[in-house]
Amino acid sequence: MATEAEEIRGIGHRVRRKEDDRLIRGKGTFIDDVKLPGMLHMAILRSPFAHAKINGIDTSKASALPGVIAVVTGELMAQHNLAWMPTMSYDTQAVLATDKVRFQGQEVAAVIAEDPYVAKDALELIEVDYEALEAVVTPQRALESDAPVIRTDKEGVTSNHIYDWESGDKEATDAAFAAADVVVSLDTFYPRSHPAPIETCGCIADLNPATGQATIYMTSQAPHAIRTVFALVAGLPEENIRIISPDLGGGFGNKVPVYPGYVVATAASLLLGHPVKWIEDRSENLISTGFARDFHMHGEMALSKDGQMKGLRVSLLADEGAFHADAQPSKFKVGLFHIVSGSYDLPAAHVSATGAYTNKAPGGVAYRCSFRVTEASYLIERLVQNAAGEIGMDPAELRRKNFIRKDQFPYKSVTGFEYDSGDYHGAMDLALQTVKYDELRKEQAEARKQGRLLGIGLASFTEVVGAGPAHDFDILGLKMNDGAELRIHPTGKAILKISSKTQGQGHETTFAQIVAEELGIQPEDIKVMHGDTDNTPYGLGTYASRSTPTVGAATALVARKLREKGKQLAAHLLEAAVEDIEYEKGKFFVRGAPENAKTIQDVAFAAYTNFPEDLEPGLEGVTYYNPPNLTYPFGTYAVVVEVDADTGEWTVDRMVAVDDCGVRINPMIVEGQIHGGLAEGFAIAAMQQITFDEDGNCIGSNFSDYLLPTAVETPKFELGATVTPSPHHPIGAKGVGESATVGSPAAFVNAVIDAVWHLGVRNIDMPLTSGKVWEAIQQAKGAGG
């Protein structure tokens, strides 16, 4: 008698992360673990000035230091036409400075030596003759007519203005505002922040002069796109470039761009005929690689006096740093910020944006968010909070009244997105029930009587992930589509090769679960490979929660393709017509006779041992996926805080997060993603920001100045879930990796504002340090609030 089959641990199972076994035993391979024979080491000299002319560079002393092999300057790079490189936003960026330096920490020269310490020592022997120039540290100053021009390298450029961009209907919005009973406005700054992955960036470039093969180990979230960019920029034949992205110690958007260090190491390896390794230190990572946010935002909301939203008007000024290098789809100048109407059925909206150069590091990366959606979500949720306060309505009620209703999906947003699905009322109801909202409001009223400052903050967000459909989404012309290749071996075990690159999100587990669901092979029998361009299908990389909506879909579809072939093999084995073969959970059988089934393992074996004459042998395939739409995860977060009026210190009593990312492939991994995102949201709300002094010196170049919360400061999170499947995704999943960072900062800030609103405080810019909260309270009291 057949034993009862083991349950297939496909979609919905809390499968423990397959990758953790090697990672927690110290058996992972990170970039600094890779050591190649004859390998040299590179260190980079960086500018101490934010803005300065370079009159000359003397490398003679550094070159003479024993152990130094070469010193590379911008001049040498220029001889190979590599002193500048393209950015992801169609701008140019200096690889090594030639004319002047434009931010503190900019790459000026590089030393290649036999050991990394000699390379670092030699940096101190390079003499650079700088002539300091006025540093431009705010975008407001950058746009003044007498501000020094930063990009003097660009012909015809006479100001620091980069772009203007707009979305929505200006006339309709103006009309809505003209007719409104109430207009609420808010000026707020989403500060510059940095993803700060625990592993910094680095590479080992290994160019073989005999074969012309370029193997580059690189901390990259997007190895395939990097390969193509290297082929185009360096003129190397693409088939000879292999980018290997080994285990990554986090990425969070920081490991998407091409950094000058990668280019210099590659050029050095080409010139010297040796592998060249470059590993950033912490300060280099924080001051010179991809920043995030840095948006100065003005928002206005028009409402009727009973709280019906009528219009939204937003203008923003983006601080892009010295080179416009935003890592985002080409078509959208400020990413997907125009989703700023959020979860609300707004009849009119207009968004305008201006970008400016400043003397700061470039970046604009999607730091644990879809492109600029974090800023958008923050602005609208802060505005809603203030609108509720102004018209004297409960903020939950105001949201409920204006949410897009479940029956309105698919919903065409006022700025042109087509939201695929949603149940905003459902997610908010669950969050409110869990936190016991009504009781809390009563408790708050009591607390106020005793002089205690209790605050309840809500944020309901709509994320937009899964970039994206080829008609709208490309980066440097490369369409944002992704692939999955599946090979099933004769013994029924499989290898899945994916175009995404996991940085800790658990792709080796969840993508195996998708195959398990579709084909009935257990996840532990499916090896998932990624991060090696010679051995995985092409794709645009992992960031902005795009992996599940794109690669997850490709994985399901390639598995289905093999299932169809499996039916042909099963028909042969069962001596039946293929039209009569049915499939269920890893078993193929003739309709009506499930007891006589062939397993996926029988079918796989037959693909190599016993197949029909007219059928191609083997069981493998590849699928590329061009998504028909983006996916729209959503949720409501509720935070309860208590503010100390005497010190401005605030503590989080409760944090309830209800997320809806459609069908959850692995609920445990989803919860882990949400926990991480909430911690990052809390960090931004409470302590994390990169600042600059008036000379453009970066304050925040180490973890004593750039504060990350530890387990001690991070609040406890209570999670809840609703499930609204994405109708167009093959398994109904939406992304989740970024949602919590997008949704939560406003909830924390709204809670603090809610605690002190009655004192007259209307806004405090993040991060909400106790000093700032205290000052805001004092100011409000002073103003008679």
Q: Footprint of ligand CDP on this chain (CB under 6 A)? A: 505-507, 510, 542, 545-548, 552, 661-666, 669-670, 673, 733-737
Q: Residues 6 or more apart from 710 whose CB is under 8 A from it?
A: none
For the chain, helix, strand, coil in percent to 5 are 30, 25, 45
Minimum CB separation from ligand CDP for residue 637, in Å? Answer: 17
Which amino acid appears at position 27 of this protein?
Answer: K
Strand order across the 182-190 sheet: 161-168, 349-356, 309-319, 295-303, 182-190
Minimum CB separation from ligand CDP for residue 674, in Å? Answer: 9
Q: Which is nearer to ligand CDP, 670 or 698 (CB)?
A: 670
Question: What span, in angstroms and rounded, lies between the C-alpha atoms of 161 and 318?
Answer: 10
Q: Which position among 221, 522, 568, 673 bears the catalytic label? A: 221
563 catalytic per annotation:
no
Question: Token pair 């004859």 is at which residue?
Answer: 38
Cβ distance 110 to 44 under 8 Å? yes
Minimum CB separation from ligand CDP for residue 723, in Å? Answer: 9
Q: Which position among 293, 368, 382, 664 bears the catalytic label? A: 368
Structure tokens at 524: 């532990």
Which amino acid appears at position 306 of this protein?
Answer: D
Strand order across the 634-643 sheet: 453-462, 634-643, 650-660, 718-721
Cβ distance 345 to 384 under 8 Å? no
441 catalytic per annotation:
no
Cβ distance 294 to 714 under 8 Å? no
Minimum CB separation from ligand CDP for residue 462, in Å? Answer: 15
654 catalytic per annotation:
no
Question: What span, in angstroms and rounded, lies between the C-alpha atoms of 759 and 769?
Answer: 18
Question: What span, in angstroms and rounded, lies between the C-alpha atoms of 206 and 204?
Answer: 6
Q: Which is nearer to ligand CDP, 551 or 768 (CB)?
A: 551
Question: What span, in angstroms and rounded, lies between the C-alpha atoms of 181 and 307?
Answer: 9
Minimum CB separation from ligand CDP for residue 332, in Å? Answer: 18
Question: What span, in angstroms and rounded, lies between the C-alpha atoms of 295 and 779?
Answer: 25
Q: Which is nearer to ligand CDP, 17 or 565 (CB)?
A: 17
Q: Which is nearer to ligand CDP, 222 or 733 (CB)?
A: 733
3 state SS of 378: helix
Name the CA dihedral angle for 116, 119, 123, 127, rounded to a multiple of 10 degrees. Answer: 180
Minimum CB separation from ligand CDP for residue 259, in Å? Answer: 20
Q: Residues 6 or more apart from 672 whose CB is under 8 A from it?
A: 506
Structure tokens at 216: 């580059």
Q: Which position among 201, 369, 661, 698 bears the catalytic label? A: 369
DSSP letter assigned to residue 405: P
Minimum CB separation from ligand CDP for residue 634, in Å? Answer: 12
Q: Which is nearer to ligand CDP, 51 or 368 (CB)?
A: 368
Q: Which is nearer to ligand CDP, 390 or 524 (CB)?
A: 524
Q: Residues 6 or more apart from 574 whose CB is under 8 A from it?
A: 581, 588, 589, 590, 596, 598
3 state SS of 614: coil
Minimum CB separation from ligand CDP for residue 526, in Å? Answer: 14
Q: Which position among 320, 375, 518, 738 bears the catalytic label? A: 738
Minimum CB separation from ligand CDP for residue 545, in Å? Answer: 4
3 state SS of 590: strand
Angle, helix 373-391 to helix 395-402, in steps of 10 degrees: 110
Q: Which is nearer to ligand CDP, 612 or 667 (CB)?
A: 667
369 catalytic per annotation:
yes
Which amino acid appears at position 120 of this protein?
Answer: K
- Cα end-to-end distance, the chain, whole Å: 80
Q: Which is nearer to ligand CDP, 197 or 662 (CB)?
A: 662
Residues paired with 184 in a beta bridge: 301
Residues in the chain: 785
From 353, 298, 311, 314, select the one nearest 172 (Cα to Cα).
311
Minimum CB separation from ligand CDP for residue 273, in Å? Answer: 38
Question: What span, in angstroms and rounded, lies between the C-alpha atoms of 144 and 146?
Answer: 6
Q: Which residue is nearest to ligand CDP (CB)?
A: 737
Q: Which is nearer to ligand CDP, 275 or 504 (CB)?
A: 504
Structure tokens at 504: 């800790």
Q: Which is nearer to ligand CDP, 175 or 663 (CB)?
A: 663
Catalytic residues: 221, 368-369, 738
